[in-house]
Amino acid sequence: MAIILLGFMGAGKTTVSQHIKRPFYDMDTIIEEKIGMSISDFFAQEGEAAFRKIESETLEELLQLEGDIVISTGGGVVISERNRDLLRQNRKYNVLLAASFEVLYERIKEDKVFQRPLFLNNSKEDFHGIYERRMMLYEGLSDLVINTDNRTPEEVARIIQCI
């Protein structure tokens, strides 16, 4: 059965998936291969709507894959109703990596390698609003919620491997 990792930016979806002993697919990496540039450059050049279209196509492709795999999603995958329907109907196992806003905010701020356009383009207050709205959507889709605030990626991966 495929495991789908959901969660806000900085929740550790990619890092955790690398510690799970299964083939793993990282949506953001696959998208960057498709568009041939970083997601933040693509946002700046083509806009968010163009990114969301590629994100939905990629989700649909990944959900067709069979077997014991892990798919790490981008934090914004849940904003489209169609994506939410796909994630609800996929009959796979959706795992939410939850963390408090302040922890995520600090992690995202420190991450100079993967700069998130929504972080760069919003005030802290607006970014917090996005977090609140998204958390409700993730929770509605998840079969399991793991709080990652005080856990290492290895510990989180170990919990997931018990599924």
Distance, in Å, from the CA atom of 74 to the CA atom of 160, rounded to the nearest integer, reads 18
Distance, in Å, from the CA atom of 100 to the CA atom of 87, rounded to the nearest integer, reads 23
Annotated ligand binding at 82? The verdict is no
Query: Structure tokens of 30?
Result: 């696959």
Helix 39-46 vs helix 27-35: crossing angle, to nearest 10 = 60
User: What's the closest the beta carbon of residue 104 comes to ligand S3P, in angstroms?
Assistant: 10
Annotated ligand binding at 124? The verdict is no
User: What's the closest the beta carbon of residue 77 comes to ligand S3P, in angstroms?
Assistant: 8
Give the residue closest to ligand S3P by C-beta: 76
Site pattern 24..63 for ligand S3P (x: CB under 6 A)? ----x----------x------------------------
Distance, in Å, from the CA atom of 83 to the CA atom of 151, rounded to the nearest integer, reads 29
Segment 90-149, which members bind ligand S3P (CB under 6 A)? Answer: 116-118
Query: Structure tokens of 98?
Result: 């939850």
Annotated ligand binding at 116? The verdict is yes
Annotated ligand binding at 13? The verdict is yes
For 8-122, list the strands marked E by DSSP: 24-26, 70-72, 93-98
| Residue 153 touching ligand S3P (CB under 6 A) | no
Distance, in Å, from the CA atom of 39 to the CA atom of 26, rounded to the nearest integer, reads 13
User: What's the closest the beta carbon of residue 62 comes to ligand S3P, in angstroms?
Assistant: 13
Distance, in Å, from the CA atom of 35 to the CA atom of 146, rounded to the nearest integer, reads 32
Indicate the annotated binding residues for ATP: 10-15, 116, 151
Indicate the annotated binding residues: 10-15, 28, 52, 75, 116, 134, 151
Q: Which residues bind ligand S3P (CB under 6 A)?
A: 9, 13, 28, 39, 74-76, 116-118
